[in-house]
Structure 1
Amino acid sequence: MATEISIVLGALAFGTRVDEAQSADLLDQFTDLGGTWIDTANNYSWWIDESGLGGQSETIIGRWLSKRPGMRTRVLLSTKAGAEPTVPGGYPQHVEGLSAPALRGALAASLERLQTGAVDLYWAHIEDRSVPLEETVEALGGFVADGRVARLGASNHPAWRVEQARQIAAARGLTGYTTMQLRWSYLQPLPGVALPQSGHVHATPETFDYVEATGQWLWAYNTLLDGGYTRADRPLPSAYDHPGTVRRLAALDEVAGELGATRNQVVLAWLAGGPARVSPIVGVTTAAQISEAMGARALSLTDNQRSRLHAAA
């Protein structure tokens, strides 16, 4: 079965671990290869920068766009709000959250850094149950109404909260969430075992039932497990230390060998080829990583290969 993969470029490291010149080169390479979606957030990457605050990634993307006339019409920008510290290094105790004033301020600052009048997808980055959901929904819906946001997404939210928000939006004649962003990859962690990234929320089979039933779009992050599929210096987290991982890696190697592809490319093809609409986000720091990821777009998994990959749980 042929798989058309919409690869999303994860720009988390731009402006911190990846300097401006290299970030620009990676953005050029991505777009030269036909990439369109770029994903960032207003808090990328506060935990890397000595300031303890975010905004570096958006700033780099904005500068890159400003130096390339016409590029803004070729790319689609995705950014997030809600998780930026309000004091240096203050996450998670001191974050902006999802109140209407916080969201208004966050969007204005993001648009200024990105040097654009609107973004194509705007995310509530993390939950904020201290704020009435109606307030968040009305603020986000207002951004669509005034033309500064094209569509809305919920990152790291459970499905029931997303649906609650969608119902509120529908009742008030507002645009609601159409997209979810969650952690998802071919290898699966043991349920109940903590991930090293405490803020990550993992998709579940129920998530896929929900997005299929509602026609939503799922963006999957941490798809390549920080290099854990291919790099000996990036061991998998302990949550993945179970027999299912051994079986799945064996199946992955078998299929990769049949296709003459890398483990990472097969993972990306597997992610994008299910019944739900899934776009993998690939965080990159090198040209080779972009080449590998973009090379997976037309990878074809047969029904038999997909069945074997699924069965090795």
Structure 2
Amino acid sequence: MAKIGSSDIDIFRLSLGGNPFGWTADEATSFEILDAFAESGANFIDTSDSYTASAPGNSGGESETIIGKWITDRGLRDDIVVATKVGSHPDFKGLKAETIAAAADASLRRLHADRIDLYYAHFDDPSTPLEETLEALNALVESGKVRYLGISNYTPERVREWLRITEENGYARPIALQPHYNLVHRKSYEPELAKIATDNNISVFPYFALASGFLTGKYRTRADIDGSPRERITASYFSDAGLAVVDAIAEIAENHTCEMSTVALAWLLTRPGITAPIASVSRVEQLPALLDAPDLVLTSDELDLLEQVSAAVGA
């Protein structure tokens, strides 16, 4: 277990991504996954009010709705930590003060909750002054609707500005940062965001931790992703250098008699500032490999190999 930043929240060192719920996992399958996750002793779920509005027939908020129903049905409100995000729901685009207030209330209704444990600004909104956004988010903390705040998909410059405004106005400090970060995509986090996070005791929760399945060995050729729900995202990882990373992960996984996803997540847990990677599954049988990651100890030679092949990707 680990604490999120300077908060009093203890979490398991793997965060379950909620984006498949109501998309590639229906409600019954989602409940099965969530049951197994909780029964393992894990407790941190990451979602967004926008998951997954882009799927046919969806309008946004499906993941929150499923998570809220599950927590209520199982009586686990005080045992499960839920992070969600604001700014991307089709009905609540952007980060103006009134949008944030309305979106938070909508998330609370879907989650069947009286508070949100961790609330991220999902994407920067250059059209809204950051001061307005932070004042509105701070008001949610002061009202008790939100316990803690996080930052997702912001540039290092904007994170530094966020911290400055927070300090100058006495607003609630962010305790979490969510960047795109994995073995074949390092540039969004290294080196600037990593230094900001470690210097300011901000916990980091990388998304696309498994590169949308690419680092699991599931896709070895472009033909493997044709027609996949994640085709658009996964295609960006394909290159000779990227496939060399996959080969190295496969070799290490064989040495440890474990799944490739376990290795990829274990590597993230060795990186500066990382508290827990975010990873998702669409079937319950995929879950144990994720939950094994915090216990896997990679050797120095294995870490050197991953550093070498990952650096060659240049992404």
The residue that corresponds to 2:65 in the other structure is: 59
Q: Which of these residues, 27, 33, 47, is aligned with residue 34 of structure 2?
A: 27
CA contact (8 A) 2:18 2:47 kept: yes
Q: Which of these residues, 70, 82, 102, is aligned with residue 99 of structure 2?
A: 102
CA, structure 1 residues 262+161, in 2 after alignment: closer, same or farther (shift >3 Å)?
Answer: same
Task: Provide the C-alpha distance between the structure 2 equivalents of 1:239 and 1:78, rounded to a whole number of angstroms.
Answer: 27
The residue that corresponds to 2:89 in the other structure is: 84
Aligned-pair CA distance for 1:59: 0.8
Task: Provide the C-alpha distance between the structure 1 equivalents of 2:303 and 2:183, rounded to a whole number of angstroms.
Answer: 11
The residue that corresponds to 1:159 in the other structure is: 156
The unaligned stretches of length 5 or more in structure 2 are: 1-10, 226-230
Aligned: 1:10 with 2:7: no
Structure 2 SS opposite 1:308:
helix
Query: Relative contact order (alpha carbons < 8 A, sep ≥ 6): 1 or 2 greater?
Result: 1
Q: Which of these residues, 268, 273, 276, is aligned with residue 276 of structure 1?
A: 273
CA contact (8 A) 2:206 2:274 kept: no
The residue that corresponds to 2:3 in the other structure is: none
User: Which stretches of structure 1, 4 residues or longer, exceed 6 Å deviation after superposition?
Assistant: none
CA contact (8 A) 1:184 1:221 kept: yes
Q: Which of these residues, 248, 252, 255, is aligned with residue 251 of structure 1?
A: 248
CA, structure 1 residues 21+181, in 2 after alignment: closer, same or farther (shift >3 Å)?
Answer: same
CA displacement, residues 90-139 of structure 1 (integer Å, 9 cap, x when unaligned):
xxxxx521011000000001001100111110000111111111110111
| Greater fraction of residues in helix | 2
The residue that corresponds to 1:305 in the other structure is: 302
Task: Provide the C-alpha distance between the structure 1 equivalents of 2:68 and 2:292, rounded to a whole number of angstroms.
Answer: 27
Q: Which of these residues, 198, 202, 220, is aligned with residue 212 of structure 1?
A: 198
Q: Scaled by the length of structure 2, what TM-score is found?
A: 0.86
Please tell me the root mean square deviation across aligned C-alpha atoms, in Å: 2.0
The residue that corresponds to 2:145 in the other structure is: 148
Q: Which of these residues, 124, 127, 130, is aligned with residue 127 of structure 1?
A: 124
Structure 1 SS opposite 2:74:
coil
Structure 1 SS opposite 2:252:
helix
Q: How does 1:173-188 map to 2 (within 5 A)?
A: 173-188=170-185
CA displacement, residues 232-276 of structure 1 (integer Å, 9 cap, x when unaligned):
333884543444324423332232222112211100000011232
The residue that corresponds to 2:189 in the other structure is: 203
Q: Scaled by the length of structure 1, what TM-score is found?
A: 0.86
CA contact (8 A) 1:124 1:153 kept: yes
Aligned: 1:40 with 2:47: yes
Sequence identity (%): 32
Task: Provide the C-alpha distance between the structure 1 equivalents of 2:24 and 2:252, rounded to a whole number of angstroms.
Answer: 33
